[in-house]
Structure 1
Amino acid sequence: MTCHIATNSIIHFLTVLAALATIFLLWRFRKSSEVKYLIYLEFFVAIWACTYALEFSYPDLETKILWSKMSYFGIAFLAVFYFLFTTAFSRKKNIINKKTIALLLIIPVITIALVLTNEKHLLIWQEVKLDPEKNMAHYSHGIGFWFFWVYSTTLLILGLYNLLSSNSNFSAYYKNQASTLLVASLFPVTGNLMYLTNVNPYPGFDWTPVSFVLTGIIVALGIFRFRMFDIVPLARTKLFEIINDGVVIINNEGFIEDCNSPAYSIFNWQDKSIIHEHYGKIFKQYEKLTSALSDNLASIQLEVSHENKRNLYHVKVSPFYRNKKLSGNILLFHDITSIVEAEEMLINTNKKLLEEIEKREKLIEDLDSFAHTVAHDLRNSLSSIFSASEIMEELIKQNDKNLLSELSILINQSAKKSIQITHELLLLATTNKTEVEIYPLDMARIFNESKGQLTDLIKSSNVVFTEPAKWPLASGYAPWIEEVWSNYLSNAIKYGGVPPKIEVGADVLINGKVKFWIKDNGKGLTNQQQNLLFKNFVRLDTKKADGYGLGLSIVKKIIEKLGGSVGVESTGNGDGSKFFFILPASQQKSYTIGMLNPKTELIAN
Structure 2
Amino acid sequence: MWEWQWTIYTLFLLLAAATMGVVAVGAWQKRDVPGSTAFLLLIGAMMLWAVTYGLQIAGATEGTKLFWANANHIAVAAVPIAWIGFALQFTGRDHLLTPRTLGTLSVVPTAYLVLVWTNPRHELIRQTFGIKSVNDGSLLLIDQAFGLAFWVHAAYGYALMAAGAVLFAQLFVWAPKVYRRQVGLLLLGAVVPMAANLAFHTDLYVPSNFDLTPFSFVATGVLFFAAIYHYQLLDLVPIARETVVDTLSEGIIVIDSQQQIVDINDAAATILKLDGDAVIGTSVHQTLPEIVTETEPSEDRSTVSSEISCEIDATPRKLAVTKTPLVDVNGNLIGRTMTLRDVTEKRSLEAALSAQLDEVMAVNRELETFTTAISHDLRQPARTTERYIDRVRRSEPELSAENDEILAVAQTNAERMQTMLSDLLEYSRIERNDDQFEPVSLAAVVDQATTSLRFSIEETDTTVSVGELPTVSGIEHQLVRLFQNLISNAIRYSGPAPPVISVEATTTETEHVLTVTDAGVGIDPDELEYVFELFTRGQHAEQTPGTGAGLALCKKIVEQHGGSVDIESTLGEGTTVIVRLPKRE
Shorter-chain TM-score tier? 0.3 to 0.5
Per the normalisation by structure 1, the TM-score is 0.38
Larger of the two Rg values belongs to structure: 1
Per the normalisation by structure 2, the TM-score is 0.40
